Structure 1
Amino acid sequence: MSAPIISETFPPLKNDLILRAAWGQKTERVPVWLMRQAGRYLPEYGEFKEKNKVSFFEMVKTPSMACEITLQPIKRFDLDAAIIFSDILVIPQVLGMGVEITEGKGVVFDFLLETPDDMKKLYADTDVYRELNYVMEAITLTRHQLQGKVPLFGFSGAPWTLMKYMIDGSASAPLPKARKWLVTYPEASHQLLKLLTDKIVDYLSGQIKAGAQILQVFDSCAGELGPNLFHKFALPYLKDIAYRLKEQMSLQKLECVPLVVFAKDTHFATEELTNSGYDVVSLDWTQKPTHVRNLAGGKVTLQGNLDPCMLYAQKDELIKEVQNMLKKFGTQRYIANLGHGVHKDVDPENVKVFVDAVHKYSEEINESM
Structure 2
Amino acid sequence: NPNPNPNPNANSNLNLNPNANLNTKAFKEWALPRMQRIASELRKRHPTTPLLAFPRGATYSLPQLQACGYDCVTMDTATPRAQTRAALQTAAAATAPPAGHVSSVQGNLDVKLLQRTENGGADGLGDEAIVRAAVEAMLAELGPQSLIANLGEGLTGKEDPKLVQTFIDTVHEVSESMIAKEAAVAQA
**TM-score bracket for this pair, using the shorter chain length:** 0.7 to 0.9
Give, as a single letter, the amino acid of the residue that structure 2 aligns with 1:351.
Answer: V
Q: Percent identity?
A: 29
Structure showing the higher helix proportion among its residues: 1
The gaps in structure 2 that reach 5 residues or longer are 90-100, 116-125, 183-188
Q: Which of the numbers 72, 93, 113 marks the counterpart of 1:310?
A: 113
Cα distance 1:357–1:182, how it changes in 2: closer, same or farther (>3 A)? farther
Q: Offset of 1:184 from its aligned partner? A: 4.0
Cα distance 1:317–1:182, how it changes in 2: closer, same or farther (>3 A)? farther
Cα distance 1:295–1:320, how it changes in 2: closer, same or farther (>3 A)? same
Q: Which of the numbers 203, 223, 230 marks the counterpart of 2:27?
A: 230
* Partner deviation per Cα, 1:48-93 (whole Å, 9 max, x = no partner): xxxxxxxxxxxxxxxxxxxxxxxxxxxxxxxxxxxxxxxxxxxxxx
Structure 2 counterparts to residues 141-290 of structure 1, below 5 A: 184-186=9-11, 224-250=21-47, 256-290=48-82
Q: Residues of 2 paired with 1:181 and 1:354: CA distance?
A: 48
> Does the Cα contact within 8 Å between 2:128 and 2:166 map onto a contact in 1?
yes
Q: Residues of 1 paired with 2:174 and 2:36: CA distance?
A: 35
* Partner deviation per Cα, 1:242-288 (whole Å, 9 max, x = no partner): 100111125xxxxx210100011114323212212210001001111
Structure 2 counterparts to residues 58-97 of structure 1, below 5 A: none
Q: Residues of 2 paired with 1:264 and 1:248: CA distance?
A: 26
2:155 matched to 1:342? yes
* Partner deviation per Cα, 1:142-162 (whole Å, 9 max, x = no partner): xxxxxxxxxxxxxxxxxxxxx
**CA RMSD across the alignment:** 2.3
> Does the Cα contact within 8 Å between 1:322 and 1:357 map onto a contact in 2?
yes
What is the SS of the residue equivalent to 1:286? coil
> Does the Cα contact within 8 Å between 2:59 and 2:76 map onto a contact in 1?
no
Q: Which runs of 4+ in 1 moved over 6 A?
A: none
The gaps in structure 1 that reach 5 residues or longer are 1-176, 190-220, 251-255
Give, as a single letter, the amino acid of the residue that structure 2 aligns with 1:242.
Answer: A
Cα distance 1:285–1:183, how it changes in 2: closer, same or farther (>3 A)? farther
Q: Residues of 2 paired with 1:350 and 1:268: CA distance?
A: 30
> Does the Cα contact within 8 Å between 2:59 and 2:75 map onto a contact in 1?
no
> Does the Cα contact within 8 Å between 2:77 and 2:108 map onto a contact in 1?
yes
Structure 2 counterparts to residues 81-120 of structure 1, below 5 A: none
Q: Offset of 1:333 from its aligned partner? A: 1.1
Give, as a single letter, the amino acid of the residue that structure 2 aligns with 1:185.
Answer: A
Q: Residues of 1 paired with 2:19 and 2:134: CA distance?
A: 26
Cα distance 1:350–1:291, how it changes in 2: closer, same or farther (>3 A)? same
> Does the Cα contact within 8 Å between 1:307 and 1:340 map onto a contact in 2?
yes
TM-score w.r.t. the length of structure 1 is 0.39
The answer for the alignment partner of 2:97 in structure 1 is none
Q: Residues of 1 paired with 2:109 and 2:174: CA distance?
A: 15
> Does the Cα contact within 8 Å between 2:108 and 2:152 map onto a contact in 1?
yes
> Does the Cα contact within 8 Å between 1:293 and 1:329 map onto a contact in 2?
yes
Which fold has the larger relative contact order, with Cα–Cα distance below 8 Å and residues 6 or more apart in sequence?
Answer: 1
Q: Residues of 1 paired with 2:21 and 2:44: CA distance?
A: 30
Q: Residues of 1 paired with 2:171 and 2:53: CA distance?
A: 22
The aligned length equals 153
Give, as a single letter, the amino acid of the residue that structure 2 aligns with 1:300.
Answer: S
